[in-house]
Structure 1
Amino acid sequence: MSDLEQLTQALARNLKRWRAERAYTLDALAARSGVSRGMIIQIEQARTNPSVGTAVKLADALGVSITTLLDMDRGPEVRVMLPEQQVRMWSTEAGSASHMLVGDDRDGPLEMWSYRLAPGEGTESDPHPAGTFEMLHVTAGELTLVVEGERYAVPAGGAVAFEAAVPHGYHNEGAEPMEMTMAVSVPKAG
Structure 2
Amino acid sequence: MTEFLLTPSGERRLQVIESHIEPGGGSGDGLYSLPADAEFVHVIAGRLDIEVEGNHYHLTAGDSLTFPARSPHCWRNPSADEVTHVIWVLAPSPW
* TM-score normalised per structure 1: 0.39
Out of 10, 19, 22, the position equivalent to 1:118 is 22
Tell me if 1:162 matches 2:88: no
Note the residue ranges of structure 1 that are not aligned, 5 or more in a row.
1-107
Distance in 2 (alpha carbons) for counterparts of 1:112 and 1:121:
20
Percent identity of the aligned residues? 30
State the secondary structure of the residue aligned to 2:71: coil
Give CA deviations for 1:129-158 in whole Å, capped at 9, x if unaligned: 3x6101111011111011123210111111
Pick the structure with more helix per residue: 1
Distance in 2 (alpha carbons) for counterparts of 1:160 and 1:147:
11
State the secondary structure of the residue aligned to 1:126: coil
Number of residue equivalences: 81
* TM-score normalised per structure 2: 0.75
Distance in 1 (alpha carbons) for counterparts of 2:84 and 2:34:
23
Contact 1:135/1:161 (8 A) holds in 2: yes
Consecutive aligned runs of 4 or more in structure 1 exceeding 4 Å deviation: none
Tell me if 1:178 matches 2:91: no
Pick the structure with more strand per residue: 2
Note the residue ranges of structure 2 that are not aligned, 5 or more in a row.
1-11
**Which structure is richer in relative contact order (CA contacts within 8 A, separation 6 or more)?**
2
Q: CA deviation at 1:128?
A: 2.3
Q: CA deviation at 1:165?
A: 0.9
